[in-house]
Structure 1
Amino acid sequence: MKKYIFLIIISFIFTYCLPVYSATMVNPFFAISSDLEYQEIKENLNDNNHMYFQWGRLARNNEGIIQFTDKMYFGISPYDNRTEYGFPTKIAEGEHFEYIVQPGDSLFSISRKFEVPHFLIAEYNELGDSNLISAGSSLKIPKTEPDLRNKDDYKKGFPNGKALFSIYFDAEQYKDNKNAAIEFLNMDYHSWDKYIIQPIVNTVDKYKFDGVVLDFEAFRDSFNTNYYSVSKRTGLKEKYNNFIRKLKDALGDKLLVVIVHPTNVGGYFDGYDIAEIEKISDYIILMAYDYRYLQKYTSKDNVPAQLHGKVKTIESSYNNQPYVQPLWKVEEAVEELLKIVKNPDNIILGISIVGMEWVKYKKSVGGKDYFYYELYRPELTSIEMVNSKEEYLDKPAIYRKIVSSNNISVEKRKELIKNGDVPVEIEYHFETPESLYIKYYNIVKNHNLSGLTVWRLGKGSSRVWNGLLDMFPNDENGNENSGKNLQHKELTKEEAIAVILKVNKKFTILRFFLESLTTI
């Protein structure tokens, strides 16, 4: 308990009381439903906080070619299933055309037909109830355009901040046995340029982005599949290097940031030549989260077949790790990466503030009860509002709330019941300003990393964002690059106590806690 109090006090000291040392970056991802949270936190942003707008993706088109697209809501083919990563859309001024509703039409089918979001059609036609359209009636179908208001607002408020265009892609295995990464990495230079590189560069230039983030996930140096020849399914790491070089050359003086997976995971994604990527790119983001691995029911367990594949337990053990970004794994990931890279100031540590809601279900089969867990990802704000005691878990450095069956509200129980299975307990794992500080301040500071990047706006809370954005003070000169190659001073416990006792009287309420630390 005393150790915990001490860490919280030190967090308070560094956030509000200590001399200013650096302008370490805290860069949010702006992606899905991020608008409202951006408006809530933007007054705490500054020119040192870059913003990553994840509004593009690579996808397989109808000809089987991997291409770039920024189309939101509507896929470019049946293989394109990540349509959330596209430009937000708004109604363009002026033109529209009339459509006569046909028998069997719905607002959703009309939306798909013309690739105009259904909610924009409803808004344009002032439809209070989208189910009220009828055959023979006339609908105005508006033209649409990318909605760049939040990006433009960010650049207006923070002219020295960098607005980067983030592009998502992963090594998806398609139903026809083709693999997205293998298809992409075996494209020739002309095809890369035609379908991916030039469309990306054109988008960056057209909408005045300051650079590109490559969020290309789950890459391997080789894949074990008989569908492809050995030459196509191996040596993929160098092929990715070649693509990054081509893109960087095409971007010119624009920034290029590349996301990589950590190496401290069993069977990790080894398709990233980190040493070479450091030479080519401006920054590397180490995505040091999603460390969960959980035991699931199998046919070897004496349970009904309906439970096969369900999570058996979320208790932490050697074979079961339920936490997204436990402290020891994050530290280990950074230490392993720093054995490879030459300049730690080229590294930005990727973190997640998405909360975890583990629901324990009871399934009754043949008069016997069985239990399993399902994972949901609510907004952090809703977790903070849950009326249950916060418990700090020291080893993973995360907070937990447990809601017993008797305390699950009627509304929540109705929301969670599925196929007759009843929720009997809810366990939340989530970050707070304190846990984030304990976990990340010293890692970034001690290793001279350039800062943090945070997934994502729309899943956090004002409390957590304010804590993150206040974690690293700005340098006195406001130099955006001053986070690089700086030496940070570490305070001893005694020095920290001395500093806080010298500050304004409004902090004297902490003296009681400080006195309790003398025996730590």
Structure 2
Amino acid sequence: MHIHVVSQNETLNNIAQSYNVSVDELIRTNEIPNPNDLVAGQTIVIPITGSFYYVQPGDSLWSISQRVGIPYQELARINGISVNQTLSVGQRLYIPPRPKTDAEFNAYVEPRGTSVSPALENDARRVAPYLTYLAPFSFQALRNGSLREPPLNTLPAIARENNVVLMMVITNLENGAFSDELGRILLNDQEIQTRFLDNIVRVANQYGFGDIHFDFEYLRPEDREAYNQFLRRAKARFTQQGWLLSTALAPKTRADQPGRWYEAHDYSAHGEIADFVVLMTYEWGYSGGPAMAVSPIGPVRRVIEYAISEMPSSKVMMGQNLYGYDWTLPFVQGSTARAVSPQQAIEIAARYNVSILYDYNAQAPHFNYTDENGRRHEVWFEDARSIQAKFDLVKELNLRGMSYWKLGLSFPQNWLLISDNFNVRKRT
């Protein structure tokens, strides 16, 4: 597949003709929200075999071959040109598809209220073919070792029908926040811990969960080793059932990183005990902070490179946001940005007739606009280019795969590009 970046005044007709595809196919595959009003900088995934490269100033056949991983002689042959030919800026070269790699994909889904909304169920059903795991968020541990269950509705059936492992996400959430006191009780009171594990086994068997996933956050630093010992005990218990054990880890770049979110998460121990981990490599730009990319690729890379220094890369899943944020400017401490899907971000840019820019350092799209009330806004989100950059990192570092937070935010280009880059591993 090819990622096309819309130029000023381009139309879908122009784009479709240049790639010999139909307008209807472009609209359908990309679910384009603004087909009659494209904006400069918007990306469109062209559903073709292979891709195209447009020659840039300073390029040579050899430098392009290094970039795309194809011998320059083969690149010349495929494009019907001489190996000695001088390339013209803007010249289009065809790049054949590269071999796909195997990878696993997880998506969290967070029902609200007492049932799973039809929209969430439909989203889970639509993307399940691209998933290895589906993770309802969350079973909340209670201080007596019991569990508060989230609504599941048809999610277990959707997982079964699509050969997807149902992931049982268990958190130390209490009254809407992660509780270190709840964590202290579960990790240190052996009687309650035994009851807790008994309840996990009972519920997991009831619903057919195949992976037990602990997302314990903001634990006390002094409970670091207690958490490790609990995971060892849980792993032994779950292995008897034939289940996997996984954990969510705060995005650290060194073992002794200070801060309440980080100190009780022992990368080395989790890498030894768990079958795999999910790194929460997002929220650098977050709803309560100043405007910036949610998952800039530099910080993401640094976290992953630290992680794979402590554990096998085959145990690491990169966390990835399926959303962006719309901040009102100037940023004021205490204000909250609005979450937007990639599709919504494009619609906003079209509505206010502003171009989408791309930060190559962060590998993320963004734009500014002024609303009807004269308030200035800054939007950072994800597009085909940004997710392809993350897929390239997954392949470069030989990671297990990627884990998405969270379903319900439309990003059709992500799923298109999964199928172009990877063979999705199914475990059941």
Give yes or no for TM over 0.5: yes
Aligned to 2:230, what secondary structure does the other structure show?
Answer: helix
Give, in angstroms, the shift of residue 178 of structure 1: 7.6
Is the Cα–Cα contact under 8 Å of residues 361 and 373 in structure 1 kept in the other structure?
no
RMSD of Structure 2 on Structure 1 (CA): 3.5
Within the candidate set 390, 402, 427, 1:452 is matched to 402
Give, in angstroms, the shift of residue 471 of structure 1: 5.0
Deviation string, structure 1 residues 176-227 (Cα, Å, up to 9, x no partner): x98333333322x221111x21111111001111121111122342xxxxxx
**What is the number of residues matched between the two proteins?**
329
Task: Please name the residue that 1:336 is paired with.
Answer: 306
Q: In the alignment, residue 214 of structure 1 is paired with which amino acid?
A: F
Task: Please name the residue that 1:242 is paired with.
Answer: 229
Q: In the alignment, residue 211 of structure 2 is paired with which amino acid?
A: G
Write the distance in 2 (CA, Å) between the matches of 1:10 and 1:445: 20
Write the distance in 2 (CA, Å) between the matches of 1:15 and 1:193: 54
Aligned to 1:351, what secondary structure does the other structure show?
Answer: strand
Q: Which structure has the larger Rg over C-alpha atoms?
A: 1
Write the distance in 2 (CA, Å) between the matches of 1:371 and 1:173: 21
Q: Which runs of 5+ in 1 are unaligned?
A: 60-64, 72-85, 89-146, 222-233, 295-309, 315-321, 363-369, 414-422, 482-520
Write the distance in 2 (CA, Å) between the matches of 1:328 and 1:274: 20
Alignment of 1:5-84 (within 5 A): 18-32=97-111, 35-40=118-123, 42-43=125-126, 45-46=128-129, 49-59=132-142, 65=143, 67-71=145-149
Within the candidate set 381, 387, 401, 1:430 is matched to 381
Is the Cα–Cα contact under 8 Å of residues 187 and 226 in structure 2 kept in the other structure?
yes
Alignment of 1:23-422 (within 5 A): 23-32=102-111, 35-40=118-123, 42-43=125-126, 45-46=128-129, 49-59=132-142, 65=143, 67-71=145-149, 86-88=150-152, 147=153, 149-156=154-161, 158-159=162-163, 161-170=164-173, 179-187=181-189, 189-194=190-195, 196-221=196-221, 234=222, 236-251=223-238, 252=240, 253-264=242-253, 267=259, 269-292=262-285, 314=291, 322-341=292-311, 343-360=312-329, 374-386=336-348, 387=351, 388-405=354-371, 408=372
Within the candidate set 384, 388, 393, 1:443 is matched to 393
Task: Please name the residue that 1:231 is paired with.
Answer: none
Write the distance in 2 (CA, Å) between the matches of 1:461 and 1:450: 24
Write the distance in 2 (CA, Å) between the matches of 1:242 and 1:447: 29
Write the distance in 1 (CA, Å) between the matches of 2:420 and 2:200: 34
Deviation string, structure 1 residues 25-67 (Cα, Å, up to 9, x no partner): 22211223675255246455437622112231124xxxxx353
Is the Cα–Cα contact under 8 Å of residues 326 and 380 in structure 2 kept in the other structure?
yes
Q: In the alignment, residue 164 of structure 1 is paired with which amino acid?
A: M
Q: In the alignment, residue 472 of structure 1 is paired with which amino acid?
A: N
Deviation string, structure 1 residues 382-424 (Cα, Å, up to 9, x no partner): 323212422212211111132214xx3xxxx6xxxxxxxxx61
Structure-1-length-normalised TM-score: 0.56
Q: In the alignment, residue 206 of structure 1 is paired with which amino acid?
A: Q
Is the Cα–Cα contact under 8 Å of residues 218 and 262 in structure 2 kept in the other structure?
yes
Q: Given the superposition, is the C-alpha separation of residues 277 and 354 from structure 1 closer, same or farther in structure 2, using an over 3 Å criterion?
A: same
Is the Cα–Cα contact under 8 Å of residues 29 and 454 in structure 1 kept in the other structure?
yes
Structure-2-length-normalised TM-score: 0.67
Is the Cα–Cα contact under 8 Å of residues 342 and 381 in structure 2 kept in the other structure?
yes
Give, in angstroms, the shift of residue 19 of structure 1: 4.2
Is the Cα–Cα contact under 8 Å of residues 358 and 375 in structure 1 kept in the other structure?
yes
Deviation string, structure 1 residues 123-180 (Cα, Å, up to 9, x no partner): xxxxxxxxxxxxxxxxxxxxxxxx2x13212212x23x21111122259999xx9833
Write the distance in 1 (CA, Å) between the matches of 2:397 and 2:191: 41
Write the distance in 2 (CA, Å) between the matches of 1:171 and 1:260: 19
Write the distance in 2 (CA, Å) between the matches of 1:239 and 1:21: 41
Write the distance in 2 (CA, Å) between the matches of 1:340 and 1:328: 19
Q: In the alignment, residue 343 of structure 2 is paired with which amino acid?
A: T
Identical aligned residues as a percent: 17
Aligned to 1:358, what secondary structure does the other structure show?
Answer: strand
